[in-house]
Amino acid sequence: MKSKDSVKKEPLISGHKINKYYGKIHALKDLDFEVYPGEILGLIGDNGAGKSTLIKIISGVIPKNSGQICWKGKEVNISSVKQARNLGIETVYQDRAVVGCLSVAQNIFLGREPVFSWGPFKFLNKKKMYQETSKLAHNLKLNIPSPDQEVRFCSGGEMQGTAISRAMYFKAELVVLDEPTTALAISGVQKVLAFVEQLKKENIASIFVTHNLHHVYAAADRFLVMAQGGKVAEAKKEEIDVEGLTNLQLRKNEENISN
C-alpha cells in the first residue's frame, strides 16, 4: 500500500526477510519493513508481536539470524549499539536509559562527552556541555531549572526529553522510541508527542513503538502493524483511522485464536 511519493524516495533504513529465533521461538518471521527519511513510523502490535525484537535488532542490542538490513541503500550489519549510533540510529528506551544521580547535561553527553586536550590528557568541556544542554532544553521546551539538575528529580516526560535531546544533539537520522508514552501521565504524553513533532521538524525519522493506538495515531505518518512476528498490515495515516488500526490488531489476534 505504498503511496507514490514514498516509492520515489529511497528508504532511510529497510529490512528484508528478517528472521530471529530465541531458541525454538520464532520471534520474527521473514519481516520486511522500511522507514523513509523524516517520517514517523508507528510500529504497533500486541505484546509478543515482535516489536521489541525488531527495534533491538535495529539499535544493535541483539543480532538477527537471517535477512538483510540496508541503511540508505547499502547493506549494513548492525552488531553493536555503538555501531548503530555511528550510523545515526539513536534509541530512546522509555525512562530506562538515564542515570538518576547524574545531571541532565551529563546524561545527554554520557559516553560521548566533549573534551579539550591538555597535553596527552583529555578533560571534560563542562562549559560546552552546559551551554549545549541549555540550548537543547530551550528548543525542546524541557522544563528544567538548569542543566545541572539531577535527572532523578525530573518527571517521566522530562526524562524522555533528556534522552531525545541526545538524538538531536548527535544528529541522529533515525530515532527509535520504545514505548515512549507508556509510563507517563497525560501531560507527559503530550510533551513526548511534542518532542517527536520537533524531531520531524528537524527532518529526523522516527520509529514510534507502542501499543497505545491513540498516542501513536496522533504522531505517526504511517503505521506498521505486527502480530506473531510478522507484518499484518501497513497503512498511511490518510487511509486508516484509530478504529481501523484497532480492528487490524484485534482481527489478527482472533485469527490466531481460531486457528
**Binding of other proteins by 130 (CB under 8 A):** no
Residue from 1, 7, 124, 250 binding other proteins (CB under 8 A): 124
Residue from 5, 23, 47, 111 binding other proteins (CB under 8 A): 111
**Binding of other proteins by 231 (CB under 8 A):** no
**Binding of other proteins by 170 (CB under 8 A):** no
Give the CA angle between residues 184, 188, 189 to the nearest 5°: 80
Per CB under 8 A, which region of 5-13, 15-23, 96-104, 246-254 contacts other proteins? 96-104
Q: Identify which of residues 98 and 164 has a Cβ nearer to other proteins in the complex.
A: 98
Give residues with Cβ within 8 angstroms of 244, minimum separation 6.
Answer: 235
Residue from 20, 51, 85, 252 binding other proteins (CB under 8 A): 85
Q: Identify which of residues 174 and 220 has a Cβ nearer to other proteins in the complex.
A: 174
**Binding of other proteins by 177 (CB under 8 A):** no
How far apart, in whole angstroms, are the C-alpha atoms of residue 233 and residue 150?
42
Cell 518527571 found at: 155
> To the nearest whole angstrom, how small is the minimum distance from the Cβ of residue 12 to other proteins?
21
* x-marked contacts with other proteins along 232-251 as a string, rule CB under 8 A: --------------------
Q: Identify which of residues 22 and 116 has a Cβ nearer to other proteins in the complex.
A: 116
Q: Identify which of residues 2 and 122 has a Cβ nearer to other proteins in the complex.
A: 122
**Binding of other proteins by 141 (CB under 8 A):** no
Residue 26 grid cell = 520464532
- How many angstroms separate the most distant Cα atoms in the chain? 70
Residue from 16, 126, 211, 237 binding other proteins (CB under 8 A): 126
**Binding of other proteins by 127 (CB under 8 A):** no
End-to-end CA distance of the chain: 26
Q: Which residues of this chain interact with other proteins, rule CB under 8 A? A: 61, 80-82, 85, 91, 93, 96-102, 106, 110-113, 115, 121-124, 126, 143, 145, 149-150, 153-155, 185, 187
